Amino acid sequence: MANTINSSDTTELTSAHYWLAVKAIPRLANHKKIALVEKFGLARLFAATTDLTLSGLTNPQRLAISSIDWDLLTKIISDSQQCQSQIIAFDDPLYPHLLKEIYDPPLVLFARGNVELLSLAKIAIVGSRNASISGREIAHKLAGQLTEKFVVTSGLALGIDAQAHLGALNNQGYTIAVVATGLDITYPARHKELQKNIIENNGLIISEFAPGVAPKAGHFPKRNRLISGLSLGVLVVEASLKSGSLITARCALEQGREVFAVPSSIYNAQAKGCHWLIKQGAKLVEDTADIIEEFEDIVTDSLNLSRNKEKDNLTEKSKNQDLCNDPMLASVGYEITPVDLVVSRSKLPIDVVLTRLTVLELRGLVSAVPGGYLKLNRG
């Protein structure tokens, strides 16, 4: 069957167009799509003179190639630009080399923020959405310390993921959030401020999903393989035996990545997944040295990732003291405190409350949890 490019006369096809077109071929694994490009050539695959009858493709797949809606792909590219993101295709120099090593690498990445982070050494930190206060504090602390050597990667979820991002930001480090939606959508919605802070502090948000794609259950395992695939290793802080974090750990093992786990009390149900990982051979982590020593040959020097060197320690201490005395903090208890209760106690508008709670969360003084916020014990 001959192939036909049916783009409008005004459409100038780019590498992004072609990779999005390859991505659109139905019911074909990514590694087979890449092999197809290597065999025929990226543009040549869609040329009218290319004979695909002996390509091993099914009739529906060849039909899909011959009837690509190039104008729709142009719209995806335009939508990506509208949400201030760029498309990084598989053959782009910016595409992470570690990600190319996995079994099913994404053909395109949508990236918003500091794309230079894709070339730096990364450690993933993941864990339960319903993590304990102790688990959240551990994730926050370890993430902050690990930013001296690595970019901290996680999934922007509630619980451990959020604390990983916040810990990195609080220590003036870099962080990457890998999401399971288009970059014009924030999920969970309560992390809109966190996502904004990541971008404003020279971090990065990435996705393999085009703008407009809403969260679906099947997207999260795909997201998890990218979190591990981007990283040298995965640290699981808290996870139940049925946690999605164990999917990330399994992906890491399949991808040849290191897996680390933080132990906890035998009575902590959220730790059973970590204990299981340790039994399977994951390295037990008590402090960041347990992780850094595994990569001494790769990461030899500090990345010096401080974003705000001009801020001295006295200024930071003053800010933290001011925040500790913030009346808003007094409105949040050590038990789960709903946002409407914080609004009632503080007598402030809800938009002000949400903004100030985000500031407190960035400083590690409160934590967002299902149902509201918790005050963290920083003593």
User: Are 272 and 320 contained in the same domain?
Assistant: no
User: Are 325 and 271 contained in the same domain?
Assistant: no
Residue 303 lies inside a defined structural domain of this protein: no
Q: State which of 36, 56, 79 marks the end of a domain.
A: 79
Please determine, for residue 337, whether its predicted confidence score (pLDDT) is greater than 90: no
User: Are 133 and 221 contained in the same domain?
Assistant: yes
**214-228, 290-304, 322-336: which is most confident:** 214-228
Please determine, for residue 235, whether its predicted confidence score (pLDDT) is greater than 80: yes
Would you give the end-to-end CA distance of the chain in angstroms?
A: 70
The residue to which tokens 């290319």 are assigned: 50
Residue 195 lies inside a defined structural domain of this protein: yes
User: Are 207 and 180 contained in the same domain?
Assistant: yes
pLDDT tens column, 22-51 = 999 999 999 999 999 999 999 999 999 999
Residue 301 lies inside a defined structural domain of this protein: no
pLDDT at 358: 82
Residue 300 lies inside a defined structural domain of this protein: no
Residue 306 lies inside a defined structural domain of this protein: no
Please determine, for residue 181, whether its predicted confidence score (pLDDT) is greater than 70: yes
Q: State which of 268, 295, 322 marks the end of a domain.
A: 295
pLDDT at 311: 40
User: What is the arithmetic mean of pLDDT over 208-237?
Assistant: 97
CATH number at residue 363: 1.10.10
Query: How is residue 237 written in tokens?
Result: 């802080």
Residue 15 lies inside a defined structural domain of this protein: yes
Please determine, for residue 377, whether its predicted confidence score (pLDDT) is greater than 80: no
User: Are 146 and 229 contained in the same domain?
Assistant: yes
Please determine, for residue 8, whether its predicted confidence score (pLDDT) is greater than 60: no
User: Are 268 and 369 contained in the same domain?
Assistant: no
Please determine, for residue 4, whether its predicted confidence score (pLDDT) is greater than 50: no
pLDDT at 63: 95
Please determine, for residue 253, whether its predicted confidence score (pLDDT) is greater than 90: yes
Please determine, for residue 301, whether its predicted confidence score (pLDDT) is greater than 80: no
Percent of the chain with pLDDT over 90: 71
User: Are 61 and 28 contained in the same domain?
Assistant: yes
Quote the mean pLDDT of the chain.
Answer: 89
pLDDT at 279: 96
User: Are 20 and 146 contained in the same domain?
Assistant: no
Q: What is the 3-state secondary structure (H, E, C) of the chain?
A: CCCCCCCCCCCCCCHHHHHHHHHCCCCCCHHHHHHHHHHHCCCHHHCCCCCCCCCCCCHHHHHHHHCCCHHHHHHHHHHHHHCCCEEEECCCCCCCHHHHCCCCCCCEEEEEECHHHHHCCEEEEECCCCCCHHHHHHHHHHHHHHCCCCEEEECCCCCHHHHHHHHHHHCCCCEEEECCCCCCCCCCHHHHHHHHHHHHCCCEEEECCCCCCCCCCCHHHHHHHHHHHCCCEEEECCCCCCCHHHHHHHHHHHCCCEEEECCCCCCCHHHHHHHHHHHCCCEECCCCHHHHHHHCCCCCCCCCCCCCCCCCHHHHHHHHHHHHCCHHHHCCCCCCECHHHHHHHHCCCHHHHHHHHHHHHHCCCEEEECCEEEECCCC
User: Are 202 and 168 contained in the same domain?
Assistant: yes
Please determine, for residue 323, whether its predicted confidence score (pLDDT) is greater than 70: no
- Closest C-alpha to 165, from 132, 115, 200: 200
Q: How far apart are CA 319 and CA 112, in angstroms?
A: 29
pLDDT at 363: 78
Residue 308 lies inside a defined structural domain of this protein: no
pLDDT at 307: 47
Percent of the chain with pLDDT over 70: 89
Q: How far apart are CA 235 and CA 281, in angstroms?
A: 13
Q: How far apart are CA 210 and CA 110, in angstroms?
A: 7
pLDDT at 376: 81
CATH number at residue 185: 3.40.50.450
Residue 84 lies inside a defined structural domain of this protein: no
For the ranges 207-211, 227-231, 375-379, the lowest mean pLDDT is seen at 375-379
Please determine, for residue 309, whether its predicted confidence score (pLDDT) is greater than 50: no
User: Are 146 and 278 contained in the same domain?
Assistant: yes
pLDDT tens column, 94-124 = 999 999 999 999 999 999 999 999 999 999 9
pLDDT at 319: 46
User: Are 288 and 328 contained in the same domain?
Assistant: no
Count: domains in the chain: 3
Q: State which of 79, 94, 122 marks the end of a domain.
A: 79
Residue 314: which pLDDT band, with cuts at 50, 70 and 90? very low
pLDDT at 327: 66
User: Are 205 and 143 contained in the same domain?
Assistant: yes
pLDDT at 303: 57
Could you tell me the residue range of the domain that residue 261 belongs to?
111-295
